[in-house]
């Protein structure tokens, strides 16, 4: 009797589950690479920009439609789920192919499985090294780990195949069926145990990111404390708590850079290659800036925008110590995850705010926000601003950055937008001269251009000028508020803003791709 294909599929499915679990354990317990995520990230880097953009767009829409909470975290969870499903599907298919090969070769199935598994391990290792150039996992233990894991998978696959073959030799068809089923049950039981133990021990040993020390904001008043205009109740916090700052990057799991091994390398058109440790960078006069960062993928009124206090060294100040050659015109900034962007030297010379940043809200950057070093470039979306910086290369020409190569805007200048965060509920109504008022408010943002005016329209009426709260700085969003006279019924509210130069934001509705979303924000509310 021949083993049916479903048995082969089940067998390789079970073993792939076990690999995922043991791999998880090794990742959390010892910081070894986690192949399902690395593989997923690698594929995402190879796919054409249009495919990735469509994928991200669909994901963000889905998160909004299904109301899955904050977009950045939900997207990362979705990515992880996709990575695991993909690995599981790939592992199952690969296992079936290897089993078919075992049938063909008629040699030792265990040897065939082990060799095939080792080849997969080698491929996984190369992919992992290609994606994660970070120093936490050293290549040698990582390579051994990949070989062990995948060769082990192939070995057990071969062993199980042999066992099933032996069962097929039995006389009665009924006995074959029964024994086969018994064997699969045992295999399922064993993989279940490995999976549960691997995942739970891994989770127990896994280190959580701890935030040492106190944030700056916990012990200091914000620079606009006591500003006359109070946010309408329900408006998002003006200063984003550190653990609420959005996160967007090309990594399922952020690269973990080891401070001891890390140096900022300066190469290219320089008198001689240089490097800086983090401590050396901290010797320079620190610069503090309140910054609103926004992702170009943020939709109108989306949550991929946050504000905190950035600290670092102005590139203008560092420049003389880089000893650039006269021909240098651009700096190419490259990161531990393979991300990169170029900054024009002229921009640095014109704008002292362009800064290599090492702290947010008074603490070293969190791993996911780019520890140990990221750049700040005012007025440009996040896609222009690498995190986890490792290298600065001086060039004599401009080059496309990671997302520009993939079809996004070269300049990626932040668009002007006004957002309605809150229409107060009844308890929060105010009144003036006998008139019941409904506080309406939110944020307005136009990069470093600032905001000069926000207006609100109720239904098809006139535009009413809102009050503006004094912002944290010229480079943050501005909180606005308009106390709208109460009128019972359902209303359409529309907000728009003018930037610091008095330029009205465009009403034209544009999607995030390729240059950032535009259009007036409209909400409907029943009062
Ligand atoms: N190395 C690296 N830097 C990166 C990215 C990335 O994928 N890799 N993503 C960029 C994008 S698209 C955005 S919006 C910001 C987000 O920064 P945050 O996650 O700290 O909020 O990081 C930027 N810097
Ligand atoms: Mo972004």
Highest mean pLDDT: which of 46-55, 426-435, 514-523?
A: 514-523
Rounded to 10 degrees, the C-alpha dihedral 228/230/236/242 comes to: 50
Helix ranges (H only) for 132-172 are 139-168
**Of ligand 1's atoms, which has the minimum distance to the CA of residue 389?**
1
Write down the pLDDT at residue 130.
86
Write down the pLDDT at residue 248.
97
Angle between helices 5-30 and 139-168 (to 10 degrees): 150
Q: Whose CA is nearest to atom 4 of ligand 1?
A: 386
CA atoms within 13 Å, Cβ hemisphere of 491:
18
**pLDDT exceeds 60 at position 12:** yes
Pocket test for ligand 1, best of 264, 360, 387, 402 (most atoms within 8 A of CB): 387
Write down the pLDDT at residue 131.
85
Write down the pLDDT at residue 141.
86
Of 290, 247, 305, whose CA–CA distance to 376 is shortest?
A: 290
Report d(CA 441, CA 328) in Å as an integer: 47
Report d(CA 232, CA 440) in Å as an integer: 6
Distance 403 CA to ligand 2 centre (A): 9
Q: Whose CA is nearest to atom 20 of ligand 1?
A: 369
Report d(CA 17, CA 197) in Å as an integer: 12
Report d(CA 239, CA 243) in Å as an integer: 12
- 469 Cβ closer than 6 Å to some ligand 1 atom: no
The alpha-carbon radius of gyration of the chain (Å, integer) is 28
For residue range 149-182, list pLDDT tens digits in order.
999 999 999 999 999 999 998 889 999 999 999 9
What is the mean pLDDT of the segment spanning 439-450?
98
Write down the pLDDT at residue 195.
95
Neighbours of 281 (CB within 10 A): 18
Q: Whose CA is nearest to atom 16 of ligand 1?
A: 248
For residue 122, name the pLDDT band (cuts at 50, 70, 90): very high
Of residues 207 and 331, the one with the higher pLDDT is 331
Percentage of the chain modeled with pLDDT above 90: 87
Integer CA distances (angstroms), 439 to 229, 459, 520, in order: 12, 16, 19
Give me the residue label for tokens 């800064």.
355
What is the mean pLDDT of the segment spanning 186-197?
96
Of 11, 19, 17, whose CA–CA distance to 167 is shortest?
A: 11
Write down the pLDDT at residue 211.
61
Please spell the DSSP secondary structure of 443-476, one letter per residue. EEEBTBT-EEEEEEEETTS-EEEPEEPPPSSTTS
**Of ligand 1's atoms, which has the minimum distance to the CA of residue 251?**
7
**pLDDT exceeds 60 at position 134:** no
Neighbours of 319 (CB within 10 A): 14
Integer CA distances (angstroms), 197 to 107, 155, 491, in order: 34, 21, 56
**Of ligand 1's atoms, which has the minimum distance to the CA of residue 246?**
21
What is the mean pLDDT of the segment spanning 81-109?
95
Distance 53 CA to ligand 1 centre (A): 15
Report d(CA 185, CA 392) in Å as an integer: 56
Of residues 178 and 209, the one with the higher pLDDT is 178
- 146 Cβ closer than 6 Å to some ligand 1 atom: no
Of residues 433 and 466, the one with the higher pLDDT is 466
Q: Are strands 374-376 and 355-360 parallel, antiparallel or unpaired?
A: antiparallel
**Of ligand 1's atoms, which has the minimum distance to the CA of residue 247?**
19
Which residues sit opposite 389 in a β-bridge?
335
96: which residues sit within 8 A by CB, 6+ positions away?
5, 8, 9, 12
Give me the residue label for tokens 């995948």.
150
- 337 Cβ closer than 6 Å to some ligand 1 atom: yes
Write down the pLDDT at residue 19.
98
Write down the pLDDT at residue 129.
86
**Of ligand 1's atoms, which has the minimum distance to the CA of residue 245?**
21
- 406 Cβ closer than 6 Å to some ligand 1 atom: no
**Of ligand 1's atoms, which has the minimum distance to the CA of residue 296?**
14
Of residues 204 and 350, the one with the higher pLDDT is 350
Which tokens in the block code for residue 217?
Answer: 């904001």
Distance 371 CA to ligand 1 centre (A): 12
Write down the pLDDT at residue 60.
87
What is the mean pLDDT of the segment spanning 214-241?
97
- 408 Cβ closer than 6 Å to some ligand 1 atom: no
- 384 Cβ closer than 6 Å to some ligand 1 atom: no
Compute the mean pLDDT over every residue in the chain, rounded to the nearest whole number: 95
Q: Whose CA is nearest to atom 13 of ligand 1?
A: 382
What is the mean pLDDT of the segment spanning 10-18?
97
User: Which ligand is closest to the CA of 401, given by its number?
Assistant: 1
Q: Give this prediction's pTM.
A: 0.95
Query: Which of 275-284, 353-362, 420-429, 469-478 has the least mean pLDDT?
Result: 420-429
210: which residues sit within 8 A by CB, 6+ positions away?
none
CA atoms within 13 Å, Cβ hemisphere of 326:
0
**Of ligand 1's atoms, which has the minimum distance to the CA of residue 383?**
12
- 369 Cβ closer than 6 Å to some ligand 1 atom: yes
- 382 Cβ closer than 6 Å to some ligand 1 atom: yes
**pLDDT exceeds 60 at position 136:** no
Write down the pLDDT at residue 209.
62
Write down the pLDDT at residue 137.
54
Write down the pLDDT at residue 1.
66
Report d(CA 420, CA 465) in Å as an integer: 14
C-beta separation of 514 from 293 below 8 A: no
**Of ligand 1's atoms, which has the minimum distance to the CA of residue 250?**
7
User: Which ligand is closest to the CA of 376, given by its number?
Assistant: 1
For residue range 237-278, list pLDDT tens digits in order.
999 999 999 999 999 999 989 999 999 999 999 999 999 999
C-beta separation of 247 from 308 below 8 A: no
Write down the pLDDT at residue 106.
81
Neighbours of 40 (CB within 10 A): 22
Which tokens in the block code for residue 522?
Answer: 């409209």
- 310 Cβ closer than 6 Å to some ligand 1 atom: no
**pLDDT exceeds 70 at position 386:** yes
User: Which ligand is closest to the CA of 387, given by its number?
Assistant: 1
**pLDDT exceeds 50 at position 135:** no
CA torsion through residues 132, 133, 135, 139, sign: positive
Q: Whose CA is nearest to atom 21 of ligand 1?
A: 247
Pocket test for ligand 1, best of 71, 249, 389 (most atoms within 8 A of CB): 249
């Amino acid at each position: 009797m021949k083993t049916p294909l479903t048995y082969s599929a089940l067998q390789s499915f079970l073993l792939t589950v076990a690999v995922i679990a043991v791999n998880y354990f090794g990742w959390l317990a010892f910081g070894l690479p986690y192949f399902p995520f690395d593989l997923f990230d690698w594929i995402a880097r190879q796919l054409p920009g249009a495919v990735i953009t469509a994928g991200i767009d669909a994901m963000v829409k889905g998160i909004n439609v299904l109301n899955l909470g904050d977009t950045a975290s939900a997207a990362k969870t979705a990515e992880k789920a996709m990575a695991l499903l993909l690995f599981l599907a790939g592992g199952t298919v690969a296992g079936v192919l290897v089993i078919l090969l075992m049938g063909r070769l008629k040699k030792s199935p265990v040897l065939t499985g082990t060799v095939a598994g080792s080849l997969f391990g080698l491929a996984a290792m190369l992919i992992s090294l290609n994606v994660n150039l970070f120093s936490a996992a050293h290549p040698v233990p990582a390579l051994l780990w990949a070989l062990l894991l995948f060769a082990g998978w192939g070995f057990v696959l071969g062993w199980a195949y042999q066992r099933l073959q032996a069962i097929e030799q039995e006389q009665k068809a009924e006995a074959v069926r029964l024994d086969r089923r018994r064997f699969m049950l045992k295999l399922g039981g064993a993989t279940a145990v490995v999976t549960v133990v691997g995942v739970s021990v891994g989770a127990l040993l896994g280190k959580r990111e701890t935030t040492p020390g106190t944030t700056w904001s916990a012990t200091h008043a914000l620079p606009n404390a006591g500003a006359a205009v109070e946010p309408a109740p329900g408006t998002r916090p003006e200063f984003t708590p550190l653990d609420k700052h959005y996160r967007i990057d090309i990594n399922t799991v952020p690269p973990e850079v080891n401070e001891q091994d890390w140096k900022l390398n300066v190469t290219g058109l320089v008198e001689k290659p240089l490097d800086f440790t983090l401590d050396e960078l901290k010797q320079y006069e620190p610069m503090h800036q309140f910054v609103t960062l926004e992702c170009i993928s943020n939709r109108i009124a989306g949550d991929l925008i946050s504000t905190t206090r950035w600290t670092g060294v102005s590139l203008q100040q560092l420049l003389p110590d880089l000893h650039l050659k006269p021909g240098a015109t651009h700096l190419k900034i490259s990161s531990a995850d393979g991300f990169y962007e170029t900054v024009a030297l002229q921009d640095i010379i014109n704008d002292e705010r362009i800064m290599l940043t090492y702290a947010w809200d008074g603490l070293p950057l969190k791993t996911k926000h780019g520890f140990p070093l990221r750049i700040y470039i005012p007025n440009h979306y996040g896609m222009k601003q690498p995190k986890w910086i490792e290298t600065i290369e001086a060039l004599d020409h401009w080059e496309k950055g990671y997302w520009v190569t993939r079809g996004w805007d070269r300049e990626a200048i932040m668009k002007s937008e006004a957002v309605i965060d809150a229409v107060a509920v009844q308890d929060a109504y105010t009144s003036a001269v006998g008139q019941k008022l409904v506080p309406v408010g939110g944020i307005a943002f136009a990069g470093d251009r600032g905001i000069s005016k926000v207006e609100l329209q109720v239904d098809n009426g006139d535009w009413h000028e809102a009050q503006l709260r004094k912002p944290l700085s010229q480079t943050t969003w501005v909180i606005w508020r308009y106390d709208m006279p109460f009128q019972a019924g359902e209303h359409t509210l529309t907000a728009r803003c003018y930037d610091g130069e008095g330029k009205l934001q465009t009403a034209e509705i544009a999607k995030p791709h390729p240059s950032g979303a535009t259009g007036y924000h409209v909400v409907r509310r029943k009062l």
